[in-house]
Structure 1
Amino acid sequence: MTDKTPSPVPAPAPEAQDGPDAPEARDGRGGESVPEARGGPEPTEGAAGRPSPIPVSPAVHKRLTSGLGGFSLAIGACLALVAVIYLITPRSDNEVLPTVDYSSQQWALRNDAPYTSYAPEGLPVGWRPTSSRLHGLDGGGKAPVAWHLGFVTPTDEYAALEQSNEKASEYVPRMTNNKNSLGTQQIGGVSWAKYYRKDKKANSLARTLPDGVSLVVTGTASYDELAVLVAALKPQPKKAAPLSPSATPGS
């Protein structure tokens, strides 16, 4: 190439073309191009028009997904509430014994026992029968017949009438928990032997009738309260044996 050789002329730039091969998309309004969105893709809706999940902090996510911890916290709160209710609920440590109707056993003893039985009549208000047990009536006369009748006294102590035609030398020591008496106590003009068992806190008054039947009044009640029960004891003749409910003390 010499200095007289003409320089090559650059080719003209190609013109913009319409159609699918055009470098810029158009929005159909007069062929204007649509600028590209900036700042990243915008949020879209999920399937069936549902919004996409809302982002939460790690702490909230942990509380929502840690099921065992939440369950333990709920159980602890319930137990605390139960404990508070238990502490503020009034309650008593004293056992409340049921009141019993001993009339049927009194009637059976009065009619079928081989001796004249005794039962309390006209006890003051506050004496409440809580137990009654009758033994020996089905023995055909070969076994001793015994009746136990227990009361709660007005001072919330215990007093019981024990009576049987068992041999007095065996029955009385067993019922009084002692073989040796402390002396005697006069009640209604009748002498009763006094017994005391310290380790059992048992006070007792005992008497053996001429027909061999022993009456023992015993319990944690004082001798004065036992004397009230003794004074209320009345013989129960067989000819006057209608079945009636146990009399309410003081009625």
Structure 2
Amino acid sequence: MSSVPPPPPPVGKQRAPRVVAELGRPETPSETAARKAASSRAHRENQTAFNLTIAIIVSVGIVVLLVLVVVRPGASQLKTIDYLKVAADAQPRQSETLAAPQLPSGWTSNRAEVRPAGSSGVASWYVGLITPSTQFIGVTQGFKANATWVSNQLGEARQTSSKTVGGVRWAVYNQRDKTDAGNTEYAMVGVEGDSTVVLAGTADDAEFDLLAGRIADQLSD
């Protein structure tokens, strides 16, 4: 009677099936595959969330950089101009007194220049002023100006009233109820000799009146 040969010895050490505590038994091959797939999927989702977070942080950093470096006005745009000195240097070449009055503390200028006549035929003196309330008033003094020149300075706005400030009768152009008036929300136009002075900007009545009074006093001297 022939004997049955013994089974071959196992090759290497066999790993015992993983016992799952929730099941109370070793998991089946299909359960093992499902567990590994879920683990892999969770890892990918965590990695995606991490990458998204990094991308958001980088994007916010770029926006902050743009605000600080690009959007914010540069030093040249914020530079204060000594309009009194510019006026004093230009005055010898002008027949009319340039409107450049002394103003109280808190008033500054960001631009001052004599502008040639150009196509309008009217030469002018311009000063851009920042008021103590950080509003804007532009002073444009036209020499031997006409009604067309005034209309062009104010974007063809219509006069709404008039008032006397500093002994000068000023035409008033109030467009504060318009959303597209820009730097001509409010304007005052006065005439002194051969000078027509246009004040236009975003300041309140008190700041306009103070400036108009100082200019009237200066030009009447």
TM-score, normalization: structure 1? 0.53
Superposed CA deviations along residues 129-177 of structure 1, whole A, max 9, x for unmatched, are 233343118x8xxx53212212232333321111121423222222234
- Of the three residues 204, 214, 222, the one matched with 2:196 is 214
Higher RCO (CA 8 Å, separation ≥ 6 residues): 1
- In the alignment, the residues of structure 2 paired with residue 189 and residue 208 of structure 1 have an alpha-carbon distance, to the nearest angstrom, of 11
Residue 80 of structure 1 and its aligned partner are, at CA, apart by 3.6
1:118 is paired with a residue whose SS is coil
On the 8 A contact 2:126/2:140 being kept in 1, the answer is: yes
On the 8 A contact 2:160/2:172 being kept in 1, the answer is: yes
Query: Structure 1 pair 196/177, CA: closer, same or farther in 2 (3 Å)?
Result: farther
- Of the three residues 199, 202, 206, the one matched with 2:185 is 202
Structure 2 counterpart of 1:125:
105
Q: Superposed, which structure 2 residues align to 1:113-192 within 5 Å? A: 113-121=94-102, 123-136=103-116, 144-178=122-156, 180-192=158-170
Structure 1 counterpart of 2:3:
none
Q: Superposed, which structure 2 residues align to 1:36-51 within 5 Å? A: 39-41=10-12
- Of the three residues 19, 42, 53, the one matched with 1:77 is 53
2:133 is paired with a residue whose SS is coil
Residue 95 of structure 1 and its aligned partner are, at CA, apart by 7.0
Query: Structure 1 pair 177/69, CA: closer, same or farther in 2 (3 Å)?
Result: same
Query: Structure 1 pair 39/177, CA: closer, same or farther in 2 (3 Å)?
Result: closer
Comparing 159-168 with 184-193, greater Cα deviation is found at 184-193
On the 8 A contact 2:189/2:198 being kept in 1, the answer is: yes
- In the alignment, the residues of structure 2 paired with residue 207 and residue 74 of structure 1 have an alpha-carbon distance, to the nearest angstrom, of 66
Query: Structure 1 pair 217/75, CA: closer, same or farther in 2 (3 Å)?
Result: same
- In the alignment, the residues of structure 2 paired with residue 179 and residue 86 of structure 1 have an alpha-carbon distance, to the nearest angstrom, of 42
Query: Structure 1 pair 78/161, CA: closer, same or farther in 2 (3 Å)?
Result: same
Could you list the runs of 5+ residues in structure 2 that have no partner in the other structure? 1-7, 15-31
CA-based RMSD of the aligned residues comes to 4.2
On the 8 A contact 2:166/2:214 being kept in 1, the answer is: no
- In the alignment, the residues of structure 1 paired with residue 162 and residue 12 of structure 2 have an alpha-carbon distance, to the nearest angstrom, of 111
On the 8 A contact 1:129/1:150 being kept in 2, the answer is: yes
Query: Structure 1 pair 223/69, CA: closer, same or farther in 2 (3 Å)?
Result: same
Residue 228 of structure 1 and its aligned partner are, at CA, apart by 1.4
Could you list the runs of 5+ residues in structure 1 that have no partner in the other structure? 1-36, 44-56, 238-251
Larger Rg: 1 or 2? 1
Query: Structure 1 pair 63/161, CA: closer, same or farther in 2 (3 Å)?
Result: same
For residue 169 of structure 1, what is the amino acid of its counterpart?
A
On the 8 A contact 1:100/1:132 being kept in 2, the answer is: no
TM-score, normalization: structure 2? 0.59
On the 8 A contact 1:105/1:134 being kept in 2, the answer is: no
For residue 77 of structure 1, what is the amino acid of its counterpart?
T
- Of the three residues 205, 211, 214, the one matched with 1:229 is 211
| Identical aligned residues as a percent | 16
Query: Structure 1 pair 41/203, CA: closer, same or farther in 2 (3 Å)?
Result: closer
- In the alignment, the residues of structure 1 paired with residue 152 and residue 40 of structure 2 have an alpha-carbon distance, to the nearest angstrom, of 71
Of Structure 1 and Structure 2, the greater helix share is in 2
